[in-house]
Amino acid sequence: MKYVVSIFFLSSLFISCTQEPTSEEILEKVIQAHGGDQVYNANVSFDFRDKHYKAQYNHGQYKLARYFSDSLDNKYIDVLTNEEFERKINDSIVQVTDEWVGKYSNSINSVFYFFRLPFNLKDDAVILTYLGKGEIEETSYYKLKVTFGEEGGGEDFDDIFVYWFNSETYKLDYLAYEYATEGGGKRFRKAFNQRMENGWLMSDFINYKPNDLKVDIADYDTYFEEGGFVKLSEIVNKNIEVSFN
């Protein structure tokens, strides 16, 4: 009887050790590796290209701001919150049509979405799918696919993302996405210059486009190894400042 129990115990242990993790289990470890739950209540500012950005996050409420000047040295401040968008030019509020409210809001959201990854992968509209493991440059990765529910998913709810998280460190090293706006397209990004900013793991990214648009973004790990991409740009955030509430 003891022998049978021991065999059962060892078999159960083997199964538990070899069982693949769920997407939710992976994401929880990813969140901790990138700074933990404190990031959901953070204040951050940074420079991206020719604009300055600030954000305040507090228990699901947010205030996102963008600052820049035009060629005539007019000063613009765009502010997006959970409730509204507002534009100021030289400290005066200006009226913006609904069409441009949508365009400006999407532009601001896009910058902060990528900056704040992977923390927004816990948003209610996110649908996670575990795709198994992949390998890039002799490193093993957990692959998570992200789609969005129409309710709460924003205007771009039909976008598709795939993320590659290092299976040992749980850092986000690569991501791919497929979008439909402005004619649609596909992109692949590789993280570099990963560093901690006051306890929040930050990354810059090299931005690539595929030579063959027919390749599924879930297969971009293999496609990258085959040299199937062309470098487009670098996504670099500068002068980052972080504090927590």
Instruction: Calculate mean pLDDT across residues 212-221.
Output: 96
Q: Residue 149 pLDDT > 90, yes or no? A: no
Tell me if 15 is assigned to some domain. Answer: no
Percent of the chain beyond pLDDT 90? 84
The whole-angstrom separation of Cα 117 and Cα 1 is 52
Tell me if 193 is assigned to some domain. Answer: yes
Instruction: Calculate mean pLDDT across residues 49-75.
Output: 96
Q: Residue 131 pLDDT > 50, yes or no? A: yes
The whole-angstrom separation of Cα 80 and Cα 104 is 9
- Tell me if 217 sits within 8 A of 177, measured CB to CB: yes
Number of H helices, E strands in the chain: 4, 14
Backbone angles phi, psi at 141, to 5 degrees: -135, 145
The answer to which of 13-22, 46-55, 193-202, 211-220 has the lowest mean pLDDT is 13-22
The whole-angstrom separation of Cα 90 and Cα 103 is 21
Cα dihedral 89→91→94→96 (10° resolution): 60
Tell me if 13 is assigned to some domain. Answer: no
Under the phi-then-psi rule, with left for phi > 0, alpha for psi from -120 to 50, and beta for the rest, what region is 142? beta
As beta bridge partners, residue 45 has: 54, 241
Question: pTM of the full predicted structure?
Answer: 0.89
| Structural domain count of the chain | 1
- Tell me if 242 sits within 8 A of 197, measured CB to CB: yes
The pair of structure tokens assigned to 239 is 């002068």
Confidence of residue 143 (pLDDT cuts 50, 70, 90): very high
State the pLDDT at residue 8: 44
Percent of the chain beyond pLDDT 70? 89
Tell me if 11 is assigned to some domain. Answer: no
State the pLDDT at residue 154: 56
Read off the DSSP letter of residue 22.
P
Q: Residue 109 pLDDT > 60, yes or no? A: yes
Tell me if 9 is assigned to some domain. Answer: no
DSSP code string of 84-149: -EEEEETTEEE---HHHHHHHHHHHHHHHHHHHTTGGGGSTTEEEEEEEEEEETTEEEEEEEEEE-
pLDDT of 154-202, one tens digit each?
556 689 999 999 999 999 999 999 998 777 899 999 999 999 999 999 9
Maximum pairwise Cα distance, the chain: 87
How far does CA 179 lie from the centroid of its chain? 14
The whole-angstrom separation of Cα 190 and Cα 104 is 27
Tell me if 1 is assigned to some domain. Answer: no
Tell me if 6 is assigned to some domain. Answer: no
Return all residues near 233 (Cβ < 8 A) that are at least 6 apart.
206, 207
Q: Supply the range of the domain harboring residue 170.
A: 22-244
Check which CATH number belongs to the domain holding 178 and give it: 2.50.20
pLDDT of 65-93, one tens digit each?
999 999 999 999 999 999 999 999 999 99
Identify the three-state secondary structure at position 245: coil
Tell me if 57 is assigned to some domain. Answer: yes
The whole-angstrom separation of Cα 218 and Cα 135 is 12
